[in-house]
Amino acid sequence: MTGASSGIGRETAIQCSKLGANVIITARNVDRLKETLSLLNGNGHEMIIADLTDQEDVERLVRTVNGLNGAVLCAGKGMTSPFAFSSRDKYDAVFDVNFFAPVELLRLFIKQKKLEKHASVVFLSSIGGVELFTPGNGVYGASKAALNSTMKYCAKELAPKKIRVNAVNPGMVNTGMIQDGRFTEEQLALNMEKYPLKRYGEPLDIALGVVYLLSDASSWVTGHSLVIDGGITVK
């Protein structure tokens, strides 16, 4: 479970542990990852500190794990930038975290046979750039659109190995990503009113969708983008 030090990643790890899974959590922040570990039910869980934008860390992480029945690729980075100001360095910074890091990790998992037969892989994507196109969100949206596309190719190519690959596409969720100063409280309140259910999601709302895709309840689901968005993309 990547991105497990906070938000959706942390909540997903907690929910998986409640269902009896042995969870391997990874992130860059030692203190926050230790906090996540302390919140997990049961024993047998592991934490691995790794920066997924560092190839050496990624390779070390892959060497450390074996026999995975599931993988949740949850680390993410947000950015708001009008297109005219979206220089190559901004695209690189976002794509490194949102696209290249999870894709390379999954590639190595497959190449080094770290996933068990019938394993389930879940990418944490977004409705941004796939279902909803908001001005100023193009860099972030492009990274998530690329992730969704890659998910479908992986689902096709890994199906003969009985490995399922899906994505969860959330709308706005109450995590640190939307509370990083990019938006004022007034902007968030106005945006929330656009949601038919009149609220943003909570990490638990998304975590339960991830759990479904990890579980045998979704054993005939692959190549699917599960939208969990409070109705904002209803046309």
Q: Which of 140, 153, 195, 200 is catalytic?
A: 140
For strands 68-73 and 115-124, give the pairing: parallel
Is residue 140 annotated as a catalytic residue, yes or no? yes
Rounded Cα gap, residues 106 and 111, in angstroms: 9
Rounded Cα gap, residues 23 and 14, in angstroms: 9
For strands 115-124 and 225-228, give the pairing: unpaired
- Residue tagged 């996933």 (tokens): 115
Sign of the torsion angle spanned by Cα atoms 211, 217, 219, 220: negative
Rounded Cα gap, residues 5 and 130, in angstroms: 26
Rounded (5°) CA angle 159-223-137: 145
Rounded Cα gap, residues 177 and 124, in angstroms: 14
Which tokens is 102 given? Answer: 């999870």
218 strand-pairing partners = none
Sign of the torsion angle spanned by Cα atoms 45, 51, 56, 62: positive
- Residue tagged 């046309």 (tokens): 235
Residues assigned a catalytic role = 140
